[in-house]
Amino acid sequence: MPLWKIAWRSIQHRAVASVLTAFSMALGVALVVAVLVIYHVLDRSFRRSSQGYDMIVGSAKGGPLELVLSTVYYLQPPRGTIPYQVYEELHHGQFATEVAAAIPVCIGGSYAGYPVIATVPEMFEEFRYLGDHPYEFEENGRNFRDDAPFEAVIGATVARKAGLKVGDTFRITHGFGGQGGHEHPEQFTIVGVLKPTGTPNDRGIFVNIEGFWKLHLHDQHSSASSEEETQGEEQNTATGSSHEESEATHTENEKLLTAVLVKRDWTNTAKALALPQLVGREPGVQCVIPAEEVAKLFEGLLGNIQTVLLIFAVLIVVVAGIGLMVSIYNSMSERRLEIAIMRALGAKRTTVMAVILLESILLSLGGGAFGVCLGHGLIGAFSGVIFEETGVQISALSFQPIELVLVPGLIILASIVGYLPALIAYRTDVARALASGV
């Protein structure tokens, strides 16, 4: 009879203890699988946020990472603004020859907790996401137009969670993340819902930047009108006409942006590489390469978290392996007669030792296989939540190549923890065991 069959029958003989031992190993392996997949999800969530631009020009206030977190991921409010002239210089000014596309954005409002990004229609026409995927709209939807200042486009997650659709209207709340602030009276009309992109744009509400500026001009004028009312009707009339003049002046001179998204023209590599330094010399602005900042964040923070989690997961597997050793070791006293009979029937010491080691390996691999299934099963069960929170689609069948390391790892671990019981089997005194009858 093959040795593995003898080991398997021994496992069947102690079914309850074997199942519990294998289950403890399965839990450890499932945790390892979960850590690997979660890290992969975070990696994809951050690194796949490429949305067609490779440089961000923003305010010099705050650090580069803050600019990336506010502009790319919409995770925090921007620290400052830059003049509209910066965009003009990039779009058709002194830097235009090094720029393939420049898109202005202004972030500063929210609706239902989702960030509002004021921009231009070209954002969804000039840029591609995740490589070369064009932005697409759900059925009956379209991009907002230049000449319609109060049109808006929303991301897929916003549409699903907030229950918004094409034709609905909403008002922007001043402030970021729905914290405080007043609600602007003007309404934006949703004309398009973006198809899921797996990027932070799924959680964004995009409005025409002209309408966004009008909101703030209206606020300024309303505030000014309140002050005028306190100064008398005549003075109010006199200053009323000056508002129309000042509005035009504001429109031209006080258009503020939180950032400009830039896609460099790589037909001239030298100029493209030099562009961040050239633009960074302008007063009050900084240039950030988002890929570099994301890499620093991921490797400096998330990489360490993954290492810590993996250490804990591996420790759990090791503890499960020790449990496996204890289980087999405790069974040895009950198996002395069985081992003695095997030896009496001609089995060599090495054969008996090999059976015990095989038993340990079978339990480890069985528990490990169940752990992999359990881990991926949980991932499949929570894939919907993962997609909702990160925008990353992942299925239960999303295996990572590094999981293959689990197989030799479990065999090595099982061989180590099974060595002591196997050694006891190897040294079993046949005559004494047969004489004692146990």
Residue 6 has pLDDT above 50, yes or no: yes
Distance CA 145, CA 241 (A): 30
Residue 240 has pLDDT above 60, yes or no: no
Distance CA 63, CA 12 (A): 62
Residue 224 has pLDDT above 60, yes or no: no
90 Ramachandran zone, left/alpha/beta (phi>0; psi -120 to 50): alpha
Q: How many residues does the chain have?
A: 438
- Tell how strand 151-154 and strand 183-193 pair up: parallel
Tell me the per-residue pLDDT of 361-395, one tens digit each, with 9 for 90 and over: 998 899 999 999 998 888 888 877 777 666 666 77
Distance CA 40, CA 24 (A): 25
Better pLDDT: 271 or 153: 153
Predicted confidence at residue 185, as pLDDT, reads 79
Instruction: Of 438, 359, 384, 418, give the one whose Cα is nearest residue 11.
Output: 359
pLDDT mean over 78-96: 90
Place of tokens 């830097």: 95
Write down the mean pLDDT value for the chain. 82
pLDDT mean over 388-409: 75
Instruction: Of 401, 412, 419, give the one whose Cα is nearest residue 318.
Output: 412
For residue 327 the two structure tokens come to 């289980």
Q: Between the ranges 229-233, 409-413, 428-432, where is the mean pLDDT highest?
A: 409-413
Residue 189 has pLDDT above 90, yes or no: yes
Place of tokens 């990353």: 392
Residue 229 has pLDDT above 50, yes or no: yes
Question: Between helices 290-297 and 15-47, what is the axis angle to 10°?
Answer: 150
- DSSP structural state of residue 256: E
Distance CA 155, CA 203 (A): 5
Amino acid identity, position 414: A
Distance CA 139, CA 193 (A): 8
For residue 261 the two structure tokens come to 């998204």
Better pLDDT: 175 or 294: 294
Predicted confidence at residue 137, as pLDDT, reads 94
Tell me the per-residue pLDDT of 298-344, one tens digit each, with 9 for 90 and over: 776 666 777 787 788 788 888 888 888 888 888 877 777 777 887 77
Instruction: Of 134, 109, 107, 113, give the one whose Cα is nearest residue 123.
Output: 134
Distance CA 357, CA 3 (A): 10
52 Ramachandran zone, left/alpha/beta (phi>0; psi -120 to 50): left
Residue 48 has pLDDT above 70, yes or no: no
Residue 121 has pLDDT above 80, yes or no: yes
Predicted confidence at residue 1, as pLDDT, reads 67
Instruction: Of 157, 123, 129, 159, give the one whose Cα is nearest residue 141.
Output: 159
Predicted confidence at residue 295, as pLDDT, reads 79
Distance CA 292, CA 69 (A): 13
- Mean pLDDT check: name the lowest of 71-80, 344-353, 407-416: 344-353
**Which pLDDT band, with edges at 50, 70 and 90, does 128 fall under?**
confident
**Which pLDDT band, with edges at 50, 70 and 90, does 109 fall under?**
confident
- Alpha-helix runs per DSSP H in 143-232: 156-162, 209-229
Predicted confidence at residue 255, as pLDDT, reads 81
Residue 242 has pLDDT above 70, yes or no: no
Distance CA 129, CA 135 (A): 7
Predicted confidence at residue 251, as pLDDT, reads 55
Distance CA 81, CA 58 (A): 7
- Mean pLDDT check: name the lowest of 35-39, 164-168, 260-264: 35-39
pLDDT mean over 147-166: 92
- Mean pLDDT check: name the lowest of 43-57, 70-84, 214-228: 214-228
pLDDT mean over 175-203: 81
Amino acid identity, position 154: I
Better pLDDT: 403 or 141: 141
Predicted confidence at residue 238, as pLDDT, reads 40
- DSSP structural state of residue 133: B
203 by Cβ neighbours in 10 Å (0-12 / 13-18 / 19+) ranks as buried
